[in-house]
Amino acid sequence: MRGGTRTAGALLALALLLTGCKGEPQPTSTPTPEPTPTPAPTATPEPRTLPFTLPFNAAGSFHPITGADRANLTLAPLLYRGLFALDGSFTPRNDLCAGYTVSEDGLTWTFRLVDVTFSDGSDLTGKEAAASLNLARQSTRYAGRLSGISRVTAEEGAVAVTLTEPNGALPALLDVPIVKETGDGARPLGTGPYVLDGEGEDLRLMARQTGLPRKIIPLRSIGAGEDLVYAFDAGEVSLVNTDLTGTDALGYSGRLEATDYLTSTLLYLGCNTEKGPCAEEAVRRAVGLALDREEAAARLLANHAVAAAMPIHPAAAGYDADLAATLSDPAQAARTLADAGWTPAEDGLLHRGRTSLTLRLLVNQENTYKVRLAQFLESCLESLGVGVEVQKVPFETYLEGVETGNFDLYLGEITMTADFDPTALISAEGSLNYGKFRDNATEDLLKVWRSARGTARTAAGKALYADLAQKAPILPICFKNGSVLTQWGQISGLQPAPHDVFAGLETWTVSDS
């Protein structure tokens, strides 16, 4: 699945009722509406439609490694390339890498570079590749995914990467843009199909190769989020990359189309495996079996998500569909609890002795769509006789609660790396292992899986996911989608990939209205 459905703008209004965020939820406020005077009628200006035009932020950096502006980072794949590029199934494809070798111990990978030039005509060398990877290791955006690298060195026509421990899926982490630094650190040179031309707010993209839908792409300078909404609604920009279920989702309108693409952003339930009812493996497993993931993705996230019962995207290689099919079964959930000694009582709840099965589900109250999702999960569990107390709390209280283990379940979100490594969530030393899961057998399976490559990795993955399904330290719900909004009828042939909404650009058909 490389793209997604295309939907008229009127339907998007429903999706924009949902809110969410990348990473941990961010607090927002919802003011109480008050009556306001009806304004006098004013003339509505005619929309100003330009040729195919993309937005950028003149005040932001274009540096694809150290920059942080979303609009400028969206343009990065047009200007820069990495050793690898991810396709729509998160599979790394050779880009600036012509081929590679791996040492016998799996720790040193040597990547040969293709013969290509930067936009100033200079050749790509191992020096630029090594410098870019080393910069990325220190950057906010890439440091986490590259934390397993101990050294990067330049070689003749190649770059060598040494790991602290084997990772058989290293190429999936190396779609890091390779740049050549210039005096202006905000605009390094790249090897992409376009080059930036102009200064200040007067910028355009100039094609460096043939076969592209436009030789010149004008850029429109935008500022705050509301400026981008206005520019898109007025037809002044042709394309916007957004998260329609994010807390910062903006209210786009007009005649537009939406094309979804897959992301590695996982919504899941974290379980307190150290204390309380969820310290019992059978209870955790039953909770996972009771979840209606398809309904959650389709209704609560307006089909801008993909249901997933394991911490790997269903579109990715290694997803065990047969196992996943067994992990959503309310009837089996009831049997699992009955086998563990939980029986119905007069109050409608399951009891074991004098103890009722009641769970505290922690969720950030400022995050509206997560609150709705938590309430839906509550209904799934209560149908089994499991009591659920949804604790909707401010962000700071939520954060304190998960960090101190003051929960039975918490609704979490994490943007996983493209190798779908769950170490942070389930390893004893994992930075996001708030449920304090500890299991030596799982650690061994995780280590084997991380080091394996090819078919061996697929086999190791089956063993790991079966183990996680049994022990259920976390309960995946779905992976969110990103969305590309375009002016109605202006662009066809979109095939956005996880980190590149311009993937397959050469096959696009672009018309100016």
Q: Give mean pLDDT, residues 471-490.
A: 95
Q: Give mean pLDDT, residues 393-415.
A: 96
Q: Give mean pLDDT, residues 202-230.
A: 90
Say if residues 285 and 278 touch (Cβ distance below 8 Å): no
Q: Give mean pLDDT, residues 70-97.
A: 96
- Distance between CA atoms of residues 314 and 297, nearest Å: 13
Extract the tokens encoding 475. 């309960």
Say if residues 306 and 314 touch (Cβ distance below 8 Å): yes
The CATH H-level superfamily of 262-481 is Dipeptide-binding Protein; Domain 3 (3.10.105.10)
- Distance between CA atoms of residues 292 and 478, nearest Å: 10
Q: Residues 147-158: pLDDT tens digits?
A: 999 999 999 999
pLDDT for residue 415 is more than 50 = yes
Confidence of residue 368 (pLDDT cuts 50, 70, 90): confident
Share of the chain above pLDDT 70, in %: 89
Of 195, 301, 196, nearest to 245 by C-alpha is 301
Enumerate the domain spans of the chain: 262-481
Q: Give mean pLDDT, residues 206-232.
A: 89
Q: Residues 17-62: pLDDT tens digits?
A: 333 333 333 333 333 333 333 334 444 444 445 689 999 999 999 9
Say if residues 128 and 158 touch (Cβ distance below 8 Å): no
- Distance between CA atoms of residues 484 and 88, nearest Å: 14
The whole-number pLDDT of residue 1 equals 41
Q: Give mean pLDDT, residues 313-340.
A: 96
Of residues 25 and 380, more confidence is placed in 380
pLDDT for residue 12 is more than 80 = no
The whole-number pLDDT of residue 90 equals 96
CA atoms within 13 A on the CB side of 61: 11
The whole-number pLDDT of residue 158 equals 98
Q: Residues 332-363: pLDDT tens digits?
A: 999 999 999 999 999 999 999 999 999 999 99
